[in-house]
Amino acid sequence: MIRRARFRLRRAAPFLALLLSVFGCGAAALQERSGGTASFDSGKSAYDRGDWVQAQLDLKAYVEQYPGTDRTDDALYYLGLAYFKSKDYALASTQFDRLTRDFPQSPFQPDALFYLARCDDLDSRPAPLDQTETQRAIDRYKQFLDVYPDHAHAAEARQRTQALRDRLAEKRFRNGRLYAKLKQPQAAAINLRELIDDYPESRWAGDAAVLLADVLVKLGRKDEAIAALRRVPPSATGEVKSRAADQLRELGSSATP
């Protein structure tokens, strides 16, 4: 029985050797891939050819080993972009934030500010959920636009700011509608008034004015309801304007929204 076992082992030896060779090569490649070369040129070359992972490894190693050279800000910028391209916005934001804080005179400062806002923008959530990242993105876009109003990314920053403000307005509208549904008219009125006051340019302002008028009518505050309907913005949809005009007629007002 012992001789038979030894025979089987000898027959299996070549196959086992092949397996060890294959897995050995794979392990070596994995180990090589898990570390980076502390070289800006190597990391930038990897970035230029679209190898985001290798760029991250090399540039991260460079930043850690050389935290205060004349190319550290360059490395931080492209490291942030490499994470950004990989959709790892949290890590990207960390690099851009460090660049803006530690290297305020860097030529990459404007773009880093923009991408810092963009990371929060892309991490922000739909209107029914928490809007912390949305508000932070708006604040950072504002900071960027205040300092660099003519930058190449300025138009995009303004467009995204408006889109995010619309999302905050939608959040207020949903809250107001929910309170109205739960028969809490005072809370509904507060949310809807705040929406109209804070986001008058929003596409939700007209809907908020019409709903606020409904709430105020139920509270017996007819004059305030008419005033709310008169605040329907010119940019409101035709449907919203039509509903507001119908409500005004019902309330005995000849004014149009």
pLDDT at 35: 76
Residue 93's contacts (CB-CB under 8 Å, 6 or more residues apart) are 80, 116, 119, 120, 123
Question: Residue 91 and residue 73: Cα distance in Å, rounded?
Answer: 16
The predicted pLDDT at position 257 comes to 57
Cα–Cα nearest to 198, from 223, 226, 175, 217: 175
pLDDT in tens, 20-46: 343 344 333 333 444 789 999 999 999
The segments of the chain whose pLDDT lies below 50 read 1-34
Cα angle: 188, vertex 194, 199; to 5 degrees: 130
Of 121, 115, 96, 120, residue with least CA distance to 106: 96
pLDDT at residue 256, as a whole number:
58
Q: CA-to-CA distance for 213 and 203, rounded, in angstroms?
A: 17
pLDDT value of position 15: 42
- The whole-angstrom separation of Cα 38 and Cα 58 is 5
